[in-house]
Each structure stands twice: as C-alpha cells, then as structure tokens.
Amino acid sequence: MENPETSTTGGWWVHAIPFFTKIGVRDYFSHSSAHVFSWDLWPLYIALLISAFCAHMVSWFRPGGCAWARRQKKGTTIPGPKGWPVIGSLMDMSVGLGHRKLEYLARLHGAKKIMAFSLGSTPAVITSDPDVARDLLGSPHFADRPLKQSAQQLMFGRAMGFAPNGDYWRLLRRISATHLFSPRRIAAHEVGRQADSMTMLSDIRHESIINGGAVQLRRHLQKASLNNIMGSVFGQRSFDVQTHKILGEMVNEGFELLGAFNWADHLPWLRVFDPLRIHSRCARLVPRVTSFVKNIIEEHRQRDDAADLDFVDVLLSLQGEDKLDDDDMIAVLWVS
C-alpha cells in the first residue's frame, strides 16, 4: 500500500520510468517533470497503461469480482459472480428486486451456502444457510455495519444501529436496554400506543368512506409510528399542525436518504461529484434536525415536573461514565 506521507504525484510507477529508458537516474532527478513525460516515451506510457489494465482484468476474473481480488486466498475461494470491471455487480443491485437477483446469481454460480460479490470497491457476502449466518453474525470481522454516506452525515454513526463495535456501542446498548426497551417502560406507554392505534384505524375508516374503499396505508402507518416514537422518546405525542408537518418532512426525508441506493457508497471517487445529491440533501437536513432536537432537550432541562420521565429525561439524568454530551444525545434521540 502506498504511504501518503512519502508518495509523490503520479505514483510509484513514475519513478520507475527512468530505469526502463535511456534517461539515467542522475538525469531524472536533475531534469524537470516535463522532460520525464516526453512524447518520445509514449510507447512506454501505453505499455504501462496496458499492464495496469491487464492486472485489473486478471483481478476481475476472480470469483466474486474486483473487490475480492486480494481477499480470497488460494484454496478458499468463495463462489460468486464477477460482475463488471470497476463497478462489480452494482448494475444487478441497482435495478429490480435485489433479493431475487441475488437468488438467481447464487443458483447460477452454484453458491449453495455462501456467495461473494462486489459492489464497486465493497466486498460483500450473502448466505441463506442458518449455520453460516450464525457464524457470520458471531464473527468479530462482521461486528461493524458498513456506514453509508447518508448514515454518516445524518449522525447515525453515533447511534447504536451504526456505531462501531466498542465501549461507546456497549454504552448505548446498555442505556437502550435499561431505559428505552425495558419491560417496565414498554408497559408504561401501552395506553399511548393503544390511543395511536385507535386514531390510525379511525383515520383509515374515514379515508375509506371518502374514497370508496381505497386507502393509502403508508402515511397512516408512518403517522402512528411517529406519534408512538415521539411519545415514548420525547414524552409528547401531539404537536401543533405546523410543527407536526415540519417533523414529518424531516423524518420522511431522512428515511428517503437512508434508503436511497447511492453509487458513491461503493465508488468513493464519485463522492466529489455527488451525482444523486445525497451529500447536499443531508447537509441541508442535519441543521434542521439538530435545531429541532436541541430545542426539545432544552425544554426538558428547564422543566420542573419530572413525575413522568421520558427517554430525554433519562439521558439528561445519566452521570459519570454513562453521561452523554449534547451532540451524542441529539444523534441517539434522532435515530430512536
């Protein structure tokens, strides 16, 4: 691997040029780079490009594709599709139903238990065998979830779902298990969940009557889910119409960004161009989320009545090594 502190523009192969031409080492270091890249050397440049292309093609021919070229040792090859050079199987995953495409590829390549494939520069494996899945999920090599560009920007890297395995992740898991998903807290919000369910059913019935039986369930389910989360996490199930609209827009935008297939996640050089505007949309959403959640935290800090503690109150009450700073609380509450 090239050392960024000692490398120079052009890579190591530029310094190898003089040793394969009539230019001496002393002349090489005493002349300008323009002399080194003389048009007289174009056959060598073409030869180097062809060599690099051939090396890449050799790696591409390995089962699993280009991302697995240096990861599969001889004798332990995992079967899988080669895909395309550079992009691997990205074209297969970006259209249609991914699970059906993967099932077809597994049958095509005889991958009965586990299959390797490449998503650009990202090596991936998939299995439908429960024993193999158990081994993968219990392996420390698979302890960290790959962090998408959108998840990183939307602060998900600091919440339990995406935080790297370590002390901080274990702290978040302990807090969630003790204070958010404990049987006592779940039972305490049973009345609110039932009220949200009744409201949702009433809204569905009303829409069904108006539209002659046709109902779009997604927005009703999202609204009920949002109200339930807001009640259990923030202690407030209802907001004014404008606030509820703003919150709904932020949540929908966040879900859309997280679920969007982003080529730049697997081809890092595309991030500079931001072809799907994922980076710019996340950059606009994060300040809005931060401001909204920070206001709720400040309201809880100034509250005198602590009879019914919600998750914000719990986070604010943590002390010692369990105490989270405001940025971490914002991330945890936003993802919750």
Q: What is the pLDDT of residue 70?
A: 66
Burial (Cβ within 10 Å: 0-12, 13-18, ≥19) of residue 90:
buried
| Residue found by looking up tokens 């405001």 in the block | 326
Q: What is Dmax (Cα atoms) for the chain?
A: 88
Same domain for 330 and 204, yes or no, is yes
Same domain for 297 and 189, yes or no, is yes
Neighbours of 220 (CB within 10 A): 17
Same domain for 14 and 86, yes or no, is no
Same domain for 300 and 229, yes or no, is yes
Assess contact for 99 and 151: CB atoms under 8 A.
no
Residue 247's pLDDT band, with cuts at 50, 70 and 90, is confident
Using one digit for the tens of pLDDT, what is the confidence trace for 263-287?
888 888 888 888 889 999 999 999 9
Measured distance CA(167)–CA(177) in Å, rounded: 15
Sequence-separated (6 or more) residues with CB below 8 Å from residue 31: 23
CA neighbor of 311 nearest in space, from 233, 242, 248, 209: 233
Least confident of 58-72, 99-113, 197-211, 307-321: 58-72
CA neighbor of 150 nearest in space, from 245, 264, 38: 264
Neighbours of 143 (CB within 10 A): 12
Indicate the residue among 127, 142, 157 that finishes a domain.
142
Same domain for 239 and 286, yes or no, is yes
Q: What is the pLDDT of residue 255?
A: 85
Same domain for 285 and 328, yes or no, is yes
Same domain for 243 and 312, yes or no, is yes
DSSP tag of 157: G
Q: What is the pLDDT of residue 32?
A: 45
Q: Is residue 24 over pLDDT 50?
A: no
What is the average pLDDT across 65-81? 74
Same domain for 51 and 82, yes or no, is no
Same domain for 47 and 84, yes or no, is no
Burial (Cβ within 10 Å: 0-12, 13-18, ≥19) of residue 156:
buried
Q: Give the count of domains, the chain.
A: 3
Same domain for 22 and 156, yes or no, is no
User: What is the average pLDDT value for the chain, to the nearest integer?
Assistant: 79
Q: Is residue 290 over pLDDT 50?
A: yes
Assess contact for 29 and 43: CB atoms under 8 A.
no
Indicate the residue among 108, 142, 176 that finishes a domain.
142
CATH code of 327's domain: 1.10.630.10
Least confident of 3-12, 29-38, 136-145, 260-269: 3-12
Same domain for 180 and 304, yes or no, is yes
Indicate the residue among 59, 87, 109 that finishes a domain.
59
Question: Which range of residues forms the domain containing residue 84?
Answer: 61-142
Q: What is the pLDDT of residue 203?
A: 93
Same domain for 320 and 301, yes or no, is yes
